[in-house]
Each structure stands twice: as structure tokens, then as C-alpha cells.
């Protein structure tokens, strides 16, 4: 793992989301990982950097758009695989895929938090993570690994999401077909 932190901020205004993203990047030593509208008319901003810089960036964004912030989270020491998933870097090859665990959430932010917890729970690999784009504002992630590790990681994420009433559904597939594995990469 690394010592990077991320912040995810969800706005109920696209215009304010873009404006706040600009303030967040201008105000601190952070990198803009993503900045996009999601259904239904919301906007998500994701920045990364060291924990203090990320906290300062969020404060700078709040100065401009605090009335439009729906939810936010700062995740210190984000797991490397989750960080890779956020920027679209693969964590696994087809030959490394084993059992699968899929976790689906109503909340983009809570889904990223759950993925981080799941990756830190057991020896699993993050196959994919999709956040809100063309999903009606929902999000999901897929893990792979030995069946016991996948079950443990998925249940950690499920318990977290149930506690926040953000769980849509989850599935564990002990022995997925090669066709399913290929379709996920």
C-alpha cells in the first residue's frame, strides 16, 4: 500500500461541481483524478495527494460550493488497487482470475470506501470498478481471488454498505466460466 489519500465529493449541481473541482486543484498540491456528471444531475469530483493536501483541497472546494455538497469522503492510505481502479489501470490478468465477488451500491462514494475496505481485508485483486457513468448514479466493483478470501472481502464490503443503507446487491461466483472472466477484462 501507499501513503496517498483521495477525496470524493458529490455535488447536486454540475456547474458548482466543476467550479469546486477547479478550486480544489488550484488550492493545493493534489491531482484531479476525475470530474464528471452522474445521474440524476449530480457531479462527482475525485482528487488525490497526501492526506493533508487532500484535506486542504476539500476545504477550498467547500469555500465555494458548500451549499451544493451532498456527500464527501476522505480516504487516507487508499489501497493501491483501488487507486488503480479509479484511474483505469488494470490490477489483474485473465490467468490470475479465480472466484469472483461483485458488490453493487447506490452510492459512488460509499462504493469506493467499501472497495478499499474489501481490498484491505483479504488477499484479493480488484478486477474492475465502475462509478456512476451510465449506471443511473449507482456503482460497483468486482474482486477475484481464492474463494475464502473473496467471501471475506465481499462480506466486509456488504456489512459496511448495509450499515449505510447503500447496498443494492452482491454475488459470489466460486468458479466463473472463462467466457465470464474474459468479458470482465
CATH for 121: 3.30.70.1710
Question: Domain residues for 158?
Answer: 89-184
% of the chain surpassing 70 pLDDT:
98
Among candidate residues 41, 75, 109, the one where a domain is terminated: 75
pLDDT of residue 132: 86
> Model-level pTM?
0.93
Q: Are 56 and 125 part of one and the same domain? A: no
Is 98 in the same domain as 156? yes
Please identify, among 51, 75, 99, the residue that sits at the C-terminal boundary of a domain.
75
CA distance 115 to 41: 24
Domain co-membership, 161 together with 101 = yes
Per DSSP bridges, beta strands 167-173 and 99-105 are antiparallel
Q: Measure the CA–CA gap between 157 and 141, rounded to whole angstroms.
A: 10
Q: What is the pLDDT of residue 1?
A: 41
pLDDT beneath 50: ranges in the chain: 1
Amino acid at each position: 500500500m501507499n501513503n496517498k489519500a483521495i477525496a470524493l465529493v458529490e455535488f447536486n449541481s454540475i456547474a458548482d461541481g466543476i467550479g469546486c473541482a477547479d478550486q480544489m486543484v488550484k488550492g493545493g498540491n493534489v491531482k484531479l483524478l476525475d470530474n464528471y456528471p452522474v445521474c440524476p444531475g449530480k457531479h462527482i469530483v475525485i482528487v488525490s495527494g497526501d492526506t493533508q493536501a487532500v484535506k486542504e483541497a476539500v476545504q477550498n472546494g467547500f469555500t465555494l460550493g458548500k451549499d451544493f455538497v451532498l456527500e464527501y469522503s476522505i480516504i487516507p492510505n487508499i489501497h493501491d488497487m483501488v487507486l488503480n481502479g479509479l484511474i483505469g489501470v488494470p490490477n489483474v490478468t485473465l490467468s490470475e482470475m479465480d472466484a469472483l465477488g461483485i458488490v453493487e451500491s447506490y452510492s459512488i462514494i460509499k462504493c469506493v470506501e467499501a472497495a478499499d475496505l474489501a481490498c484491505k481485508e483479504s488477499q484479493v485483486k480488484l478486477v474492475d470498478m465502475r462509478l456512476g457513468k451510465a449506471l443511473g448514479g449507482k456503482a460497483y466493483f468486482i474482486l477475484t481471488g481464492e474463494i475464502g478470501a473473496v467471501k471475506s472481502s465481499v462480506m466486509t464490503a456488504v456489512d459496511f454498505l448495509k450499515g449505510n443503507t447503500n447496498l443494492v446487491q452482491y454475488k459470489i461466483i466460486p468458479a466463473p466460466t472463462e467466457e465470464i472472466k474474459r468479458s470482465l477484462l
